Structure 1
Amino acid sequence: MAKTGYSATLIAPAKLNLSLTVLGKRPDGFHDLVSLVAFADLHDVLSVTLAETAVDQLTVAGPFAGSLDRDNLILKAVSAVRDAIKAVPPLSITLHKTIPVAAGLGGGSADAAAILRLLARQHGLAAMAPPIQEIAAGLGADIPVCLQSRCRYMRGTGTTLDPEQSGFARYPALLVNPGAAVPTGAVFKTLAAKKKAATDTSVPHGLTEEILAGRNDLEAPAVAVAPEIGPVLRTLSGLPGALGARLSGSGATCFTLFKTDSARDQAAELFRQTYPAYWMHAGALRNWDPDSLFPETPAFSG
């Protein structure tokens, strides 16, 4: 459990799009989609205390601190809660940035969701309370699904959430990012999938089949924008014990799943021999319990 008051350590888990189907472009220029989202044991850590100044303070550390925009979703989330619910004192926040930035892993959304969970708790609200979901949706399409960090489908522009998927199990996973720049706008411009009716949101597979055999409609356009993704996907899918390979979101992080930790670890060693310079995380997908998102002590990964 977190400490009382605004002194807390917060976990912000990375999200993965296990599947992503683009249904069509909306009149407002956004796209309707349906995506099965899960969360990894990879995470950022936020340390929060009361600020000694009259304004919020954000300090960033960790392996990906240098690539982060200081006009950050965390501070926007604090301001949004302050505007909607009031009574939020100035906060001093240290972000230990372990999730790669602009990588299809929702790191910025996860960070914003983490601070929203804390502020919701401070005001006696559940993380999924309608006022918090409304604030989250106004800040970014991936933030609502990150509030609980549990496997579920998101729909529409990403802000419509299905109930949590029952039966989701832990999956050993290998995540790889080649460091390619993949602008989301360029990926959608390249998207050549057929436009479907926006009401066609049916999912043809069961949960296990969707996890292991689903598709990402943004994968082919992302490879067209950043060709170095293609060899990564092919190498991952050919590793011993790999259960396919897929892109998360619009990339550039690719992932594959395994039946056992030992199979994942052996595959990670083989992959590293081919691509020693690429970022890699050998971990697992999991559902996060509410209390595990508020640890008593910092839990830095990476």
Structure 2
Amino acid sequence: MRLRALAPAKVNLGLALGGVRADGRHRLVTVFESLSLADTVELDVMESGEDVVVCPGVSGENLAARALAALRARGWDGPPVRLTITKRVPVAAGMAGGSADAAAALRLAMALVPGRAEEVEQIAAGLGADVPAQLLPGLALGAGAGELVERFEPLPEHAYVVVPAPVALATPEVFREADRLGLVRSDAELEARHRALAAVLAARTRIPMELLGNDLQAAAVSLRGWCGEALEAVRATGAEASFVSGSGPTVVGLWWGASAAERAGAAANLLKRRHPAATTAVPVDARFAAASLTCAGVETSVD
């Protein structure tokens, strides 16, 4: 028996950075949006042994393995499983690829042996700022250190160009650089940004330019000059907004309105001359990432 789910990348539509909490994590306010650019996570049930996570081409600790281990530690008694992750989301790129895989692993485990919903949310919050929002892909407003998630209906039609960087960038490095550059906002500023973004999302209107800024962008550009060059290249194609996604170094261009996907596609074709990995993406919701079961060659939804 095999279960399969997609693990969508995310983009941050605006990110306001606050100070460091007692647990060492920065406060933030940001909009998470899931994209059609996605990894594939497959869960195979094994007869015996321990859980195994396989992610070809990616070395080091895997967040999906940590998610499974944390679930086991809380008493989840599903059979041993083998998780196979096929990567399409760039690694260490500010698009939450690892977080998306961890969230997909938790969704698949719950599809296999349901229950423990509250514990799954607690596990997600402990794994990192991006994991809670990825448990239910779609549009969400994040606060706290990302673990406080409020979900919203989709925004008006829009599409993206995604320009992955040729080099990775570690999230902790970016936050340290942001602290060094003095990019942190006050608690009052964070609260004001939260109210403004919540109002826009509730109204389901376009997010205005003044709310799309990413406070981590200057830190990413400082550490990787490539980001600044890519931002200029994306703007030159006619994007209505361009910004670094999350902690970077991936650069994203945004188009609003009818035929946004077609205009983004034309821009991606132009960008490929200097940035061969440039691609397009559109927003997706939880249905896109839903788990499916393959048994005797027949695939059916389990959500």
Band the TM-score falls in, shorter-chain normalisation: 0.7 to 0.9
TM-score, reference length from structure 1 = 0.85
* Residues 276, 233 of structure 1: alpha-carbon distance in 2 compared, 3 angstrom cutoff: closer
* Residues 283, 211 of structure 1: alpha-carbon distance in 2 compared, 3 angstrom cutoff: farther
Distance 1:70 1:26 in 2: 27
Instruction: Report the secondary structure of 1:55's partner residue.
Output: coil
Q: By how many angstroms is 1:248 displaced?
A: 0.7
Per-residue CA distance 1:102-134 (angstroms, 9 max, x = gap): 0001011111101111222333338xx322101
Name the structure 2 match of 1:32: 27
CA contact (8 A) 2:78 2:113 kept: no
CA contact (8 A) 2:92 2:171 kept: no
Distance 1:19 1:50 in 2: 40
TM-score, reference length from structure 2 = 0.85
CA contact (8 A) 1:174 1:282 kept: yes
Distance 2:154 2:169 in 1: 33
Match of 1:55 among 47, 50, 54: 50
Match of 1:102 among 65, 79, 92: 92
Gaps of 5+ in 1: 1-5
Distance 1:133 1:271 in 2: 39
Instruction: Report the secondary structure of 1:210's partner residue.
Output: coil
Instruction: Report the secondary structure of 2:221's partner residue.
Output: helix
Match of 2:122 among 123, 131, 134: 134
Per-residue CA distance 1:156-201 (angstroms, 9 max, x = gap): 1111112x12342442211001223322222222222244027842
Distance 1:152 1:102 in 2: 22
Name the structure 2 match of 1:238: 236
Name the structure 1 match of 2:216: 218
Match of 2:291 among 287, 291, 294: 294
More displaced 10-residue stretch of structure 1: 188-197 or 215-224 = 188-197
Instruction: Report the secondary structure of 1:172's partner residue.
Output: strand
Q: By how many angstroms is 1:101 displaced?
A: 0.5
Name the structure 1 match of 2:75: 85
CA contact (8 A) 1:19 1:211 kept: no
Distance 2:208 2:60 in 1: 35
- What percentage of residue pairs aligned between the two structures are identical? 30
Match of 1:13 among 8, 11, 15: 8
Instruction: Report the secondary structure of 1:202's partner residue.
Output: helix
RMSD of aligned C-alpha atoms? 2.2
CA contact (8 A) 2:2 2:293 kept: no
* Residues 143, 195 of structure 1: alpha-carbon distance in 2 compared, 3 angstrom cutoff: same
Name the structure 2 match of 1:119: 109
